[in-house]
Structure formats: structure tokens, C-alpha cells
Amino acid sequence: MKTITLISLSSIILFSCAPNVPTNSNDLTLGAVQSKIYKGQSQSEVMDVLGSPNIVTKDTQGREVWTYDRISSDKNSESGGFWFLFFGKSNASSSSSSKSLTVIITFDDKKNVLDFTYQSLKY
């Protein structure tokens, strides 16, 4: 009985500390756009690389235009750490940054990439 309890507790501790990694292979990144999107590519190939677009519209000539827009933010904070427990002084600091990536892809009448543009910002 002790062995089962020990194994159960060890498993809970081990797996509760495991990182939660998303399994979404359709992450929109600047590198994916630059290396995997090209003129003449089909819509299904674009969707395999970038996933579903945020906005689908038509331009003045009736061509389909897909817009991808992603915004992410990172917040980092550091506490006083080990010394805070003994001396009570906190050297806590925090910082944040945001990134946005906008990709606009225009398709021709055969549903192939006619042109694409992107803008990446970090602030």
C-alpha cells in the first residue's frame, strides 16, 4: 500500500510540474511567413502553414484577400528571491513587451497567391 501511495504522489508531483506546451502547429510567426509563403502557392497550402485568416475580404478587382493579425504580450517579473526570506527587502522588478504581426495575402482568380505583404512590430 505504501508503494502505491508513493508512486501516486511522485507521479502527481512530476506531472504537475511539466510545462504546458501548446500543440497548435499553425502558429503565425514572421519566420513562417518569410520562409514558407511564396507567390503561386495555393490557398490550402497557405492555410496549412498559417492556419485560418482573421479576415477574408475582396479587393476592388474582386480578388480574395486574407488578413492575419496577431498580437502577443510578454510580462516578466522577478521577486526578491532567496534573500527576501531572510532580510525582508524586495528587489522585485517587472517588464512587459508586446509584438504584433500583420500579414495580407492577395489571391488570383485561380486561388493562388498573387502577392503578400507583412508588418512586424515590437514595442
Contact at 8 Å (CB) between 118 and 104?
Answer: yes
Per-residue pLDDT tens over the stretch 43-52:
999 999 999 9
Q: How confident is the model at residue 9 (pLDDT cuts 50, 70, 90)?
A: low
Per-residue pLDDT tens over the stretch 12-56:
555 555 444 433 445 688 999 999 999 999 999 999 999 999 999
- Domains delineated in the chain: 26-122 (3.30.1450.10)
Please give the pLDDT value at position 100. 93
Q: Which helix (H) or strand (E) holds 39?
A: none
Q: Identify any residues that bridge with 119 across adjacent strands, giving them in sequence order.
A: 102
Contact at 8 Å (CB) between 120 and 100?
Answer: yes
Contact at 8 Å (CB) between 65 and 58?
Answer: yes
Distance CA 103, CA 65 (A): 10
